[in-house]
Amino acid sequence: MSVVRVRTDVLSTDVARLVSTRRVWLCDLDGTLVDSSPVHEAAFREALAEIAPELLTSFSYGDHAGAGTREVVTTLGAAPADAERLIRRKQELYRERVEAGMVTLLPGARQLLERLTRTGRTLYLVTSGSRESVRRVLSAGALTGCFRAVLTSDEVACAKPDPRFYLHACRLWSLDPADCLVLEDSAHGVASALGAGLVTLQVHAALPAQGALPVRHLDQLIHLIDAETDDRE
């Protein structure tokens, strides 16, 4: 599958048309459907304080939003002897917080997924999270079973923003990019999806990435789907 250039001159007024015509949705998880960024940051900071405190001064979670734990640790330049310990400890701390109920659904997330399913869309989850962390988040949020299939960082040799992440998803599930619509929040995720030739909605972003179609919040998408349903009745 070749990488397709996505037009960057598509106006945000086309969001309604895309929502109406694209039947396959590839959804990100962290920051898109669940409010996990503060929890990821807290887990990273605690792990760094324990294992590599010298890296704390240069750590800004916002620079890494959308990337997987391994990619963040690599980017920070952790010593080889510390890297695997940091990854394991951060994941452990994050999962403890998930089990404690600290990762919550973003407003409109459940309603959006229900609307999409009820109106015949097919949903997939494409996330940089690890398989076990994602399983726990989906379970805690009662989202298990919402997606036809789930792709995590454990199944892909690369990471967002690499386009191969979304390209792998399309190949794995035999998806035609022309049928798909991606829902992302981070610049890393948007870059990966756009690079794979996928039209991308970016939600919860104060400054949308170039090429993404901005969506203020998930309720905006719910309203578009409801309006579409009303028009057919």
Residue range 117-129, pLDDT digits in tens: 999 999 999 999 9
Domain-embedded: residue 222: yes
Domain-embedded: residue 83: yes
Same domain? 139 vs 80: no
Instruction: Give the domain range for residue 168.
Output: 12-35+103-232
Domain-embedded: residue 173: yes
Does the structure show a pLDDT above 80 at 148?
yes
> What phi and psi, each to the nearest 5 degrees, are found at residue 148?
-65, -35
At 129, which amino acid appears?
G
Q: Which residue has the higher pLDDT, 66 or 109?
A: 109
Same domain? 50 vs 163: no
Same domain? 226 vs 178: yes
Sign of CA dihedral 216, 220, 222, 225: negative
pLDDT (mean) for 44-49: 96
How would residue 12 be classed by pLDDT, with cut points 50, 70 and 90?
low
Say how far apart CA 171 and CA 164 lie, in whole Å. Answer: 10
Helix (H, G, I), strand (E, B) or coil at 147: coil
Of 48, 81, 99, the residue that ends a domain is: 99
Does the structure show a pLDDT above 60 at 91?
yes
Does the structure show a pLDDT above 60 at 22?
yes
pLDDT at position 7 is 43
Same domain? 174 vs 130: yes
Could you tell me how many residues make up the chain? 233
Domain-embedded: residue 143: yes
Helix (H, G, I), strand (E, B) or coil at 205: coil
Say how far apart CA 228 and CA 233 lie, in whole Å. Answer: 9
| pLDDT > 70: percent of the chain | 93
Same domain? 89 vs 137: no
Domain-embedded: residue 4: no
| pLDDT > 90: percent of the chain | 79
Q: For residue 102, give every residue at least 6 positions away whose Cβ sits within 8 Å of its Cβ, in sequence order, or none.
A: 39
Does the structure show a pLDDT above 50 at 41?
yes
Same domain? 209 vs 177: yes
Tell me what the pLDDT averaged over the chain comes to.
Answer: 91
pLDDT (mean) for 138-156: 96
CB 48 within 8 A of CB 55: yes
Same domain? 77 vs 91: yes
Q: What is the pLDDT of residues 172-196, one digit of tens each?
A: 999 999 999 999 999 999 999 999 9
Element (H, E) at 21: helix 15-21
pTM for this predicted structure: 0.90
CATH code, domain with 182: 3.40.50.1000
Same domain? 168 vs 200: yes
Count of domains in the chain?
Answer: 2
Q: For residue 198, give every residue at least 6 positions away whose Cβ sits within 8 Å of its Cβ, in sequence order, or none.
A: 6, 26, 166, 170, 177, 180, 181, 182
Q: What is the DSSP letter of 30?
A: B
Q: What is the DSSP letter of 78?
A: -
pLDDT at position 230 is 58
At 109, which amino acid appears?
A
Does the structure show a pLDDT above 60 at 10?
no
Say how far apart CA 233 and CA 231 lie, in whole Å. Answer: 6
pLDDT at position 232 is 56
